[in-house]
Chain A
Amino acid sequence: MADEALFQFLHSEIIQYVNSAETGESENGRCVSKLENMGFRVGQGLIERFTKDTPRFKDELDVMKFICKDFWTSVFKKQIDNLRTNHQGIYVLQDNKFRLLTQLSAGKQYLEHAPKFLAFTCGLVRGALSNLGVKSIVTAEVSVMPACKFQVMIQKM
C-alpha cells in the first residue's frame, strides 16, 4: 500500500511541474486550473472505489458529513475540524492543520503560493461530490497556514 509520504512528494512535484510549464501573466490561474482538473479526476475515481459498499446517503448534509469524516480521514488521516453551513447549499469545511500545507509554512510566509497547494484538493472534493451526484464549485482560502477553509457551493442541477 503506497505510503502517505509518497503522495505528498508527488503532489509537491506535480505543483512544481505545472508551475514551470505555465509562463506568462495568467500563469497562476492556469496553474491552479490544471491542478484542480487533475484533482477532479482523481476524486471521481477515488470516491467510486471507496463508496462501493456504502449505503445510500440520506441527503446533501449526509454527503458533506461523509466527506468531512470518512473521506478526509482516509485521504488526510484526520477529520475536518469544523463544518458550517447556511442550509442553503453553502458549506465551509475548516481544517486547522491541513497536511498539504504543513510542509509549506506555519504562518503567513509563502501565502501567495498557498492556492497552488490547495487546488488539487479542491478538485478532489469537487470530483468526489460529482460522483456522489452533487454538482458543486469548490474553492479554498487560507490566511494563516496550516489552517485553511474549503468552501463548497452546491449547484442546483
Chain B
Amino acid sequence: MSRQSNRATDNKKMNSELFTLTYGALVTQLCKDYENDEEVNKQLDKMGYNIGVRLIEDFLARSSVGRCHDFRETADVIAKVAFKMYLGITPSVTNWSPAGDEFSLILESNPLVDFVELPDNHSNLVYSNLLCGVLRGALEMVQMAVDVRFSQDTLRGDNVTEIRMKFIKRIEENLPAGDE
C-alpha cells in the first residue's frame, strides 16, 4: 500500500522535474545561441509571452474564476489560483503601491531553479524570465497591459524571489480591422 502511494508522489515529482529540467535545457541552449545575457533575457520573455497568450485559455477553462473587478483581485487570483495550479506554489502578495497599481509576488521557493546555480559569467541572466513573459501575455489576453519584472532573485544571492507587477492600462477590445 505504501509503495503505491510512494509511486504516486514520485510520478508527480518527476513531472515537475521534467518541466524544471526541460526549462534548464532551454536556458542552456539560449545561452549558447546568444552572446549576452540581455539577449537571453529578452528571448525568454518573448517565449514566455507566447506561452502566456495560450496558457490563459487553459487557465480560464480549468479554473472557475470569473472576471476580476480590480487589480487586487487579479493579484489574488494570480497568486492563489494560477501559481498553485501550474507551479504548485502560492506566492504571497505584498508591497502594494499607494495607488494600488503595483504589487509584489514573493516566492519562497521557485520550482524553475531546482538544481540550478548561475555561473559567474552569467551574472546578468534573469533565469526565470519566462515567468514575466507568461504573466504579461496572459494578462494582455484579458485586456490588461502590465509590466512584470524580477526585483529579487535567489539565484543572484537574494533571500527570496520577488516579482514586481505594475498595471499600465486597460486594453480596449480591438474590433476586427476592415480590409487593409
**Which A residues have a C-beta under 8 Å from some C-beta of B?**
1-7, 9-11, 13-14, 16-18, 21, 34, 38-39, 41-42, 45-46, 49-50, 70, 73-75, 120
Asked if A9 and B55 make an inter-chain contact with CB atoms under 8 angstroms apart, the answer reads: yes
Within the complex, the shortest CB–CB distance from A24 to chain B, in Å, comes to 15
Asked if A7 and B22 make an inter-chain contact with CB atoms under 8 angstroms apart, the answer reads: yes
Interface size on B, residues (CB 8 A): 34
Chain A interface main SS type: helix
Asked if B26 and A10 make an inter-chain contact with CB atoms under 8 angstroms apart, the answer reads: yes
Bitwise interface map of B from 97 to 122 toward A, beta carbon under 8 Å scored 1, else 0? 00000000000000100010000000
CA distance A42 to B16 in the complex (A): 12
Asked if B22 and A49 make an inter-chain contact with CB atoms under 8 angstroms apart, the answer reads: no
Interface 9-residue window, one of B7-15, B71-79, B168-176? B7-15
Asked if B11 and A73 make an inter-chain contact with CB atoms under 8 angstroms apart, the answer reads: yes
CB-CB under 8 A from A21, the residues of chain B are 33
Asked if A17 and B86 make an inter-chain contact with CB atoms under 8 angstroms apart, the answer reads: no
Asked if A6 and B21 make an inter-chain contact with CB atoms under 8 angstroms apart, the answer reads: no
| A38/B29 contact (C-beta < 8 A), A3-B86, A6-B87, A7-B19 known | yes
Indicate if B54 sits at the interface (CB-CB under 8 A).
yes
Asked if A74 and B19 make an inter-chain contact with CB atoms under 8 angstroms apart, the answer reads: no
CB-CB under 8 A from B88, the residues of chain A are 1-3
| A74/B26 contact (C-beta < 8 A), A3-B87, A6-B86, A46-B17 known | no
Asked if A13 and B18 make an inter-chain contact with CB atoms under 8 angstroms apart, the answer reads: no
**Which B residues have a C-beta under 8 Å from some C-beta of A?**
7, 10-26, 28-29, 33, 43, 47, 50-51, 54-55, 58, 85-88, 111, 115
CA distance A45 to B23 in the complex (A): 12
8 nearest A-B residue pairs (beta carbon): A2-B19, A1-B16, A1-B88, A2-B16, A38-B25, A42-B21, A74-B14, A9-B51
CB-CB under 8 A from B22, the residues of chain A are 7, 10-11, 14, 38, 42, 120
Contact of B14 among A17, A34, A38, A50 (CB under 8 A): A50
Within the complex, the shortest CB–CB distance from A125 to chain B, in Å, comes to 13
Contact of B15 among A2, A41, A42, A70 (CB under 8 A): A2
CA distance A75 to B12 in the complex (A): 9
CB-CB under 8 A from A1, the residues of chain B are 12-13, 15-16, 88, 111
Count chain A CB atoms within 10 A of each CB in B17, B24, B28 and give the residue with the most. Answer: B17
21 A-B residue pairs with Cβ-Cβ distance under 8 Å, sorted by A, are A2-B15, A2-B18, A2-B20, A2-B111, A5-B55, A5-B58, A7-B19, A9-B55, A10-B22, A13-B47, A13-B50, A17-B47, A41-B21, A42-B18, A42-B22, A45-B21, A50-B14, A73-B11, A74-B14, A75-B14, A75-B18
Asked if B50 and A16 make an inter-chain contact with CB atoms under 8 angstroms apart, the answer reads: yes
Taking A13-B50, A70-B7 as known contacts, 19 extra A-B pairs with beta carbons closer than 8 A to each other, sorted by chain A number, are: A1-B16, A2-B87, A2-B88, A2-B111, A3-B85, A6-B19, A9-B58, A10-B51, A14-B26, A16-B50, A34-B29, A38-B25, A39-B25, A41-B21, A41-B25, A41-B28, A42-B21, A49-B14, A74-B10
